[in-house]
Structure 1
Amino acid sequence: MKLKYTGIMLFALIMALPGFAKGKRGKQAMKIISYNIEYGMRADTTAGKTVFATWMRNQNPDIVCLQEANKFTQKSLEALAASYGHPYAVLQKEKGFPTAITSKYPIVNIMKVEDNMWHGFVMGTVNGYHIISLHLSPHRYESRQLDIDLILETIRQNGPFEKWIIMGDFNSVSPVDAKKYSDGRLADRLRKEEEKRPALKNLVNGEIDYSVHQRILDFGFIDSARLDKNFSEKNFGTRIDFIYISPDLKSAFTGGNFITDDFTKKYSDHRPVYMTWGK
């Protein structure tokens, strides 16, 4: 018996073929989240951080970069990551304020850096993408400058400058947001903090320091959130969490911004940042 296919039936059969519905030109969507979880998400007091894990499962990212993974060990991070569907996890260190990467896919070419840095960073390659999770000094602009110079030199020596994504808590603001801070309130707040705590040095000659992000932009990185059509300066107060991408990923970018919901409003003093792209 011969089968007769209508146009609708044929379309349905094509759509059912493996890999067809992955997006335009067959590209699979990828999602990454960067999140400073504030002292190891201390606000989630459940055993195994089940509230955090449930939220992360609902977000369904392919890769997660964490900062302030405090009090985690490599094994406990692996257990947490597995609870939200990530069988791979790398912790930078087990003391202080660690950074971390978790992933649905193998993390290879791992580099953990602590020497000559404030908190340090962890780097790994996932599906060909070079990922860095970093956490810069909250106290001194000189430390942040040294840290970012070391990170950028690491990237330079691990070229080519393709498929790089660096993210985390930069504890500094960007010149692309300068209009947001032109009212002087941020500078005044930082000045008052320095008066109370002389060890702090976040202003340069009384002015906001944009040098860290200027170095990143001059290197060629792109501020991914600024590519999102829904990005608005009204959506944040002081923006210090960023995801930067190398220029070759700009055309693959499909979205990225802060994630603000009932969970993120409560469980950390930072809002996570996400990005999606086609691979």
Structure 2
Amino acid sequence: MTLDLPLLARGKVREVYDAGDDRLLLVASDRISAYDHVLPTPIPDKGAVLTRLSVWWFEQLAEVLAAHGAQHHLLSADDVPAEVAGRAMLVRRLAMEPVECVARGYLSGSGTVEYRRTGAIVDVELPAGLVEGSRLPQPVFTPSTKAEVGEHDEAISFARTVELVGQERAEQLRELTLALYRRGHEVAQRAGIVLADTKFEFGTDGDVLVLADEVLTPDSSRFWPATTWSPGAVQPSYDKQYVRDWLTTSGWDRQSPPPELPEDVVAATRERYVAAYEALTGSSFA
């Protein structure tokens, strides 16, 4: 696919185009990444799920953003080129903050690994006795660096965040990230889904802090069915953990080019993405 717009960046999943007048066109592909690699097999409809779910979440989060004097970057999901209709968003061009803003309400993934080793996640001390899948006493802010394609995000301390963006901005990012997580958790809980953790990206438009990129999708979040949540083991999920698990058992060394995904893994992954969309929004994806 070629759009008659200047291509500014190509990430693991998205292309970013210059749409003029301080606007960008974000196009979500069906690519899927895992362990810092873009896999060779696409997941059908994944780009559309990410886009439609992000648009829906921007609406759900608008009140929280306004309460913090912030905004979101979405201008339109309709006024986009026909070639990418359904999987593209027209957004405001921003000066992006150089950190990924991660909120965790449950212990999972790399957080579990570090907790077992140190009793903390970077500089956030956690109580003893937690296990994989445990709900934390309160959500925590564990930011990370923004890695280039093929590189790995690295968790950073709050002090390092202050060095990167300044004390006032770091506190704003922490407060808003946790407020958005709490709202997301509340909405997901009503849909029978546990929002275990998620990451947000922010930019600025003048002095205004703006929520950017995608939000609360299976690519950026861990979603677990509430009915099966049981601390002490890896949880069934609606996100791409299913693909990670298959890769782990496939014998791939994470260094060589990743293998093609089998048809059943592709179909099951698509099913999880669509199920997350439908459960959260209450709407059919078809």
What TM-score do the two structures reach when normalised by structure 2? 0.29
> Who wins on radius of gyration, i.e. which is larger?
1
